[in-house]
Structure 1
């Protein structure tokens, strides 16, 4: 049901992110069930872009809409609060770039940064990041269908339809700033200029 809400290119991106994250973890000697919770990592990857579904019409940026949708879905299916919180945290921050930070890795469960790293490999990595032939196997099972450009187009489409969901500093905001600056409802300069401090 919930997977059907996403375009095939995004569903495949989510599943590739899981496989790439798991392979990257294995290359670092991390084992599922011992060093990280693989099921939680899968849930993060599988649900991380729910905020890009047509049904994600709320006022928040897509990462937060997706985190809320994932939490609601998991709670409706009896998933425990602690796991829901981990999934929510990961999805809400998955575009922030925190996953490479040693402090973030020390403070958050490994399932989060492994999932976010895998998602990142699918966006900005390449076949040389994995053993020879591994990426081909993943792409045979889950073709790119336009890959990162298709993902960007979905984010851009949502942001142009709802510019308030693309605040400064967000991924959607950056896409709007570069491609549709005329649609930005506000920028950092507008925020600063509107301050009562008159800085």
Structure 2
């Protein structure tokens, strides 16, 4: 099975053909291009932009810590795949029985296996995606999971961990530049609504003591609320 070959083809929110600004952020390797093509074909513009910003923040983290995930092209592929697909489980294509993080992790491994990436490398990507919403666990279970987690938090204006690792970087200017290139487009509402929509169909996708459950319970408490989910 090959990755989808056309952008904007198969989810509930049509994704326009990515601009040169978006595609220029993608590492020029077969695996990274395939991961981006899959993401761009399914994710809404808001979540695609978020995922690319997360990668660019993660790349800076990896660079500043002299990580192999920046220094080695094969490892950079793993970092990109983990970042660009970390929310792919919110899409219709990967709306399975498990919570969205696990479905996304499975999808990423499925793509990597097409390119003979297996074993520890595939497992590390799986873990980074599966627990990216798990505070204090993602930061300690593996280097890749920590980088992805801190980059995700930074994109949601939480600088703990990130700021310490990238000293001497103007974080305000960094965030403004990335968001100018890849606008937020209401990511908090779009992502929260996507997770809740899945949970409403399959409550088991929002198990107790999970981030999806926080969103699900907040929605059930105030189903008429139209703003950003209060459990976000």
Q: TM tier, shorter chain?
A: 0.7 to 0.9
SS in 1 for 2:106: helix
Partner of 1:116: 149
TM-score normalised by length of structure 2? 0.67
Q: 2:71 matched to 1:33? A: yes
Q: 2:175 matched to 1:138? A: no
Consecutive unaligned residues of structure 1, counting only runs of 5 or more, are 184-199
Partner of 2:216: 176
Partner of 2:59: 22
Any idea what the Cα deviations from partners look like across 1:39-66, whole Å, max 9, x if unmatched? 3221110111111011123111111111
Cα distance in 2 for partners of 1:99, 1:12 equals 26
Would you say the 8 A contact 1:74–1:84 is kept in 2?
Answer: yes
Cα distance in 1 for partners of 2:134, 2:188 equals 17
SS in 2 for 1:144: coil
Would you say the 8 A contact 1:18–1:42 is kept in 2?
Answer: yes
User: In the alignment, which of 17, 27, 52 is matched to residue 90 of structure 2?
Assistant: 52
Q: How far off is 1:147 after superposition?
A: 2.2
Task: State which drifts further: 143-152 or 130-139.
Answer: 130-139
Consecutive unaligned residues of structure 2, counting only runs of 5 or more, are 5-37, 164-168, 224-232
Would you say the 8 A contact 1:94–1:116 is kept in 2?
Answer: yes
Cα distance in 2 for partners of 1:33, 1:71 equals 22
SS in 2 for 1:180: helix
Partner of 1:6: 43
Would you say the 8 A contact 1:38–1:111 is kept in 2?
Answer: no
Q: 2:195 matched to 1:162? A: no
Q: Which has the higher contact order (CA 8 A, sep 6+)?
A: 1
Cα distance in 1 for partners of 2:88, 2:158 equals 22
Q: 2:104 matched to 1:71? A: no
Q: What is the aligned length?
A: 175
Q: How far off is 1:84 after superposition?
A: 0.9
Q: How far off is 1:176 after superposition?
A: 1.2
TM-score normalised by length of structure 1? 0.77
Cα distance in 2 for partners of 1:38, 1:116 equals 16
Runs of 4+ in 1 over 3 A off after TM superposition: 24-27
